[in-house]
Amino acid sequence: MQALTNRAKAVDRRPMTLAEKMYIPAIAKGMGITFKHLFQKKATVSFPEKKRDFSPVFRGLHVLNRDEEGRERCTACGLCAVACPAEAITMEAAERKEGEEHLYREEKYAAKYEINMLRCIFCGFCEEACPKDAVYMSETFAPANYQRKGFIYGKDDLLIPHPKEGK
């Protein structure tokens, strides 16, 4: 049979020599290897003290973005919810009232915006679908929680802080 790669090695089926049958040289060799490993660099990351950096394309928890003046960008168009394969996103739209122009960028906004982090598969389709650059995925992941309802993130969990007021 033709080998698929040039890395294939034929199995050595010759009968073992006396030295091989004694196993002692092989064991000594193995012990040498393990002894070398005693002093090698450890792979462990001491987690709470030291955190491993995420990859640049890591998709973590979502954030709802604001524009430069601190207005919410989301217009509750629902494209993210449609794009979501896990159906983790629900939202309720509302109309912007007179005098709320400093809060919402467009005439329509999301009164309620919830992502169920237990359903979410962090595929990033919502991020791609958003026409207003409102949904982004950050570099954090959902912390543990005692209850399922703790994993349903509302607007107050998702919105990034206001650039000026800090809230």
Partner 1 sequence: MTLLSIDWFFVIEKVLLISGVLVLSLVVAMYSTWGERKVAAWIQDRLGPNRAGFMGLLQPLADGGKLFFKEEIIPANSNRFLFVLGPSIAMLVACMTSAVIPWGDSLVIAGRTVSLQIADVNIGILFIFGVVSMGVYGIMIGGWASNNKYSLLASVRAASQIISYELPMGLALIALLMLTGSLSLKDIVEQQRHGLWNVVYQPLGFFIFLVCAFAECNRAPFDLPEAENELNGGYHLEYSSMKLGFFLFAEYINMFISSALISTMYFGGYAFPYMDKLGLDPNVVTILGFLALFVKTLLFIFFFMWVRWTVPRFRYDQLMRLGWKIMIPLALVNMLITGALVLARQH
> In terms of CB distance, is 30 or 85 closer to partner 1?
30
Is residue 3 close enough to count as binding partner 1 by CB under 8 A? no
What is the total count of residues that contact partner 1 (CB under 8 A)? 15
Tokens of 89: 């996103």
Give the residue, chosen from 9, 13, 14, 42, that forms a contact with partner 1 under the rule CB under 8 A.
42
Tokens of 117: 């982090």
> In terms of CB distance, is 28 or 160 closer to partner 1?
28
Show the binding pattern over residues 43-82: x = contacts partner 1 (CB under 8 A), - = does not: xx-x------------------------------------
Of 35-43, 51-59, 128-136, 142-150: span binding partner 1 (CB under 8 A): 35-43
Is residue 18 close enough to count as binding partner 1 by CB under 8 A? no
Residue carrying the six token digits 């998702």: 158
Nearest CA-CA partner of 29 in 40, 19, 39: 19
Pairing of strands 62-64, 89-95: unpaired
Q: Check: CB of residue 108 under 8 Å from CB of residue 75.
A: yes
Nearest CA-CA partner of 151 in 119, 110, 125: 119
CA distance 67 to 47: 35
Site residues (vs partner 1, CB under 8 A): 27, 30-31, 33-35, 37-44, 46
